[in-house]
Amino acid sequence: MFLAKPAYAAEEMGAPQILAGNDQWFISSDMVTMWVIILCLAVVCFIGTRQMRKHPTGLQNILETIVELLHGIVVDIMGETRAKRYGPFLMTFFIMILCSNYIGLLPLSGMHIPGYIAPTANLSVTAGLAIIVIVGYFVIGFMDGRMAFIKHFFLTPMLPMNLLEMITRPLSLAIRLYGNIFGEEMIIGVLFGILPFFLPLPMYALSILFGAIQAYVFTLLACIYWEEASNREGH
């Protein structure tokens, strides 16, 4: 998906800049951005949980509040048992996507300024996340649904439709997230290019809302798909 392009093309079209590499390997700007996000999240979680207290305060309290809110959403869809098993992965999904969406709102980022861009504004990144969801669907189906999953998915006249659905689902997940974040950053870049500094700020507020919504929708759909795979007896 990545081709080395002139810097101006990468900046104008939102493509990741190739920072280093050759014909066999490369390091792009969005890869570095994702590594930084992962490192920052790991550090924050380590600091917030290294001295766990029964009555949390400060960072531990913030982290526990976020986990409880997200856990409640997963429990509503998957139930308590499956939420304990798959909830941590889904919550990590949400936080990672949310941070990736918001990184494009920081100074020196965006479509028209050289530097880092939101990783989720790259179709390769969102496609990778969508593939993880679909691979998880089959893994969970074989682990939890067992014969009910196999019978429903494979041993049925609806097999062609099921296979088509497994193609459209990741496409929908990847393109929805990519399109919204890419379009949002493009609009902000255009506004800052033609309007005085403070006039595009309302779009920033909307971008904060949209970034959270897109992370929530992606994670919610992943949760629904995994619940469907693990609970075939109930469908």
Q: What tens digit of pLDDT does each residue of 97-150 get?
A: 999 998 877 766 654 444 567 889 888 889 999 999 999 999 998 888 777 888
CA angle centred on 31, ends 226 and 89, rounded to 5°: 25
| CA-CA-CA-CA torsion sign (125, 127, 129, 131) | negative
Q: Work out the pLDDT band at 177, boundaries 50, 70, 90.
A: very high
pLDDT of amino acid 214: 93
User: What's the average model confidence in pLDDT over 55-67?
Assistant: 86
d(CA 36, CA 98): 14
Q: Work out the pLDDT band at 29, boundaries 50, 70, 90.
A: confident
Using DSSP bridges, classify how beta strands 18-21 and 26-28 pair: parallel, antiparallel or unpaired: antiparallel
> Shortest CA distance to 144 belongs to which of 85, 77, 203?
85
pLDDT of amino acid 59: 87
First to last CA, the chain: 38
In the structure encoding, which two tokens stand for residue 26, read together? 């490369």
Domain layout of the chain by residue ranges? 58-234
Residue 12 has pLDDT above 50, yes or no: no
CA angle centred on 120, ends 115 and 124, rounded to 5°: 100
Residue 3 has pLDDT above 50, yes or no: no
pLDDT of amino acid 130: 95
Q: Work out the pLDDT band at 2, boundaries 50, 70, 90.
A: very low
Phi, psi (degrees; rounded to nearest 5) at 189: -60, -40
Beta strands, E only, 36-111: none
pLDDT digits (tens, 9 = 90+) for 218-228: 999 999 999 98
Least confident of 1-10, 36-45, 172-181, 198-207: 1-10
Place of tokens 């800049």: 17
Q: Work out the pLDDT band at 151, boundaries 50, 70, 90.
A: confident
DSSP code at position 22 = -
pTM as predicted: 0.81
Q: Work out the pLDDT band at 20, boundaries 50, 70, 90.
A: low
